[in-house]
Structure 1
């Protein structure tokens, strides 16, 4: 029997075209990455490059003739992050927040929102807290008060990327009348919305971090995506994927940092600008072998988590609690391995090559991983492994 070649379909063509575009944008960003990192300005130019290439519209949840499947979206994020991890961070959070409709809204509302996002080429950002038994212990930072045609939103929230450049900002806020936690989207140009960009960051300087200040911002009913559960027990399995999805997208940013640092150090060593020259130096071979192995190990672990997350997202509302817990355990493992690899590689390359700007990889890795101690995740992974505890896995993302 003669094998018949499979003809690529429209989805395959879109995927290949998107990855080509990502490589072109990455090459463009890499050309002036050091200068832009040193300037540390808000990502106005960077977001313009992304919009011109069509990446915000392309990196939305998959639908008929639009969007990107999870694995494709993560591949784009990693490609961009290897060239400029600040922009990779920005794009990762855009992609995951663009899934907010599916995580919190009805199917019909999510579809309409995604179609509008593609049509308007929105750039998303936000900060939605993970459910926790201690949620709001010190009082909510954002409060919704009902009014005749919706709500009024007050407070302030730290946002890690694109605080002054995004079109839509997703946050969760406590409703003063019911006590519910509602997830809402805010148009960045709405009356009462101001931003305070962060200055002099150690790393991820071009990501556009800062605070969004909300002063009596009108929120229409249509801007309320849905209810965010108070705790893990009341969270549906699919909604429980929201935080692990964000962490996994950021793992691809961490991989990009590791790969970018290793590639740049290798090119410097080949060019003879390093402390140790290549030639026949066995110690240099050993070091690069160790670092390349660390990067490849992290890639394999993240790849497995990415595949399983993609399958879970495709399952949608039929996902069960065991499936969600299994995904979260893999993501926690991937985050642990990737954080260690990114920090280790970005530190070691500074010993291999002496060149301006090489330190940015360590600074970026440090900022990306600073607030997520590995011990907390490892305990949760261990409890899940020993006892099969779903609660333990969810706790890893608090």
Structure 2
């Protein structure tokens, strides 16, 4: 690990802003050895420790509260940079930043102010949402039910796809009340009865800790429970646009990494095929075309993501002015859905094109270049692109609004 960059992080106590040299140093450290970590399945505990020390998780908390003050556009610029450095690390932080937006960025009560302070102090928050027995993905009620226990509750349940939780300090557990009301319980991960199982065996995103969370008679204090309402948490219309767009931003970052690796491959090639139109690979018009296509795809992906992020900023500006507008949030969801439909295709195609410029030697396991395609394919599979394309078609043809919950 680069000791100069490491020391720079430790000597800077400020929460990083999106444009700070501290953040630049942190991302440079994250990029170091990312291919090797994934090849050996070395989980990034040390890097998450640096992120905790650097307090990157407070990036979007307002500056007046001691945070980084990043807008949505600035956040997603950072996510793209993180995705280019290491798609696993970028993905690990997804549920954290969504938690901050829902419950800590602008706290409503004393408990949420405590969560905000925890984030300002460096705490990372994970998620335990999905249940293997659920007949409909993303639907409620859940089998993890709040059972009254004195002045609090107890919960028992099994969650999977717990991305990032293995590296976190707190976890947001999606629960139901006994009468079926959906809610979130935010609890420390060192509480008795919580077990984290690193059993994620996907083809990509192998280091995200997206395994199983087991909850056995876990105590939950009443203040740690937030019930969904039409103006808060998961009940807020289009509140899931942010986590959806986050995945697309990581894919845009992967595209940036594909471009960097493809360019480096061509530049270091010393041989060409006997039937190539130019003896020097960097002068080969066929290879130049492939690089040009990947570069253009990376550009379009980033523009699409940042355009959708700007729509989130516009909707937030209305909320802060006391003029919440459903159509503004709907427009944000539309842009995020359209970005996913296009970006997912671009990154998967570009991940394959990477091998067109490198020849057979690019497929050597020692290079681990296939991780870009595998990671992008895995991220793209999280939320169905085809269903989003169909919803956009319904909107265009019949004026049908996008669904306001779950995967939109």
Q: Same fold (TM over 0.5)?
A: yes
1:211 lines up with 2:220 in the alignment? no
C-alpha deviation, 1:288, in angstroms: 1.4
1:333 lines up with 2:333 in the alignment? no
Q: Secondary structure at the match of 2:166?
A: coil
Q: Is the 8 A contact 1:50 1:56 kept in 2?
A: yes
C-alpha deviation, 1:253, in angstroms: 0.6
Which runs of structure 2 are paired with 1:1-398 in the superposition (5 Å)? 18-60=19-61, 63-67=64-68, 68-101=70-103, 107-109=108-110, 112-128=113-129, 140-176=142-178, 178-227=179-228, 239-272=236-269, 277-316=280-319, 318-353=323-358, 354-355=361-362, 356-390=367-401, 392-394=402-404, 397=407
C-alpha deviation, 1:394, in angstroms: 3.1
Q: Secondary structure at the match of 2:371?
A: helix
Instruction: Count the aligned residue pairs.
Output: 377
* Unmatched segments (≥5 aa) in structure 1: 1-12
Q: Is the 8 A contact 1:78 1:256 kept in 2?
A: yes
Distance 1:82 1:76 in 2: 10
Distance 1:60-1:363 versus aligned 2 partners, 3 A rule: farther
Distance 1:275-1:327 versus aligned 2 partners, 3 A rule: farther
Distance 1:396-1:54 versus aligned 2 partners, 3 A rule: closer
Q: Secondary structure at the match of 1:312?
A: helix
Which TM-score applies when normalising by structure 1?
0.85
Q: Is the 8 A contact 2:183 2:225 kept in 1?
A: yes
Q: Is the 8 A contact 1:254 1:365 kept in 2?
A: yes
Distance 2:268 2:138 in 1: 54
Residues 94-103 or 323-332, more deviating:
94-103
Partner of 2:3: none
Distance 1:279-1:69 versus aligned 2 partners, 3 A rule: closer
* Unmatched segments (≥5 aa) in structure 2: 1-13, 274-279
Query: Cα deviations across residues 308-342 of structure 1 (Å, max 9, x unaligned)?
Result: 11222343363222222111111111111121111
Residues 322-331 or 350-359, more deviating:
350-359
Distance 1:272 1:341 in 2: 25
Superposition RMSD in Å? 3.0
Distance 1:362 1:136 in 2: 26
Partner of 1:9: none
Distance 1:384-1:40 versus aligned 2 partners, 3 A rule: same
Q: Secondary structure at the match of 2:145?
A: strand
Q: Secondary structure at the match of 2:165?
A: coil
Q: Is the 8 A contact 2:37 2:43 kept in 1?
A: no
C-alpha deviation, 1:274, in angstroms: 7.7
Which TM-score applies when normalising by structure 2?
0.83
Q: Is the 8 A contact 2:125 2:169 kept in 1?
A: yes
Partner of 1:10: none
Q: Is the 8 A contact 1:57 1:119 kept in 2?
A: yes
Partner of 2:7: none
Distance 1:275-1:245 versus aligned 2 partners, 3 A rule: farther
Distance 2:209 2:42 in 1: 8
Q: Is the 8 A contact 1:18 1:58 kept in 2?
A: no
Distance 2:135 2:107 in 1: 25
Distance 1:237-1:162 versus aligned 2 partners, 3 A rule: closer
Residues 209-218 or 144-153, more deviating:
144-153
Partner of 1:8: none
C-alpha deviation, 1:61, in angstroms: 5.9
C-alpha deviation, 1:109, in angstroms: 4.6
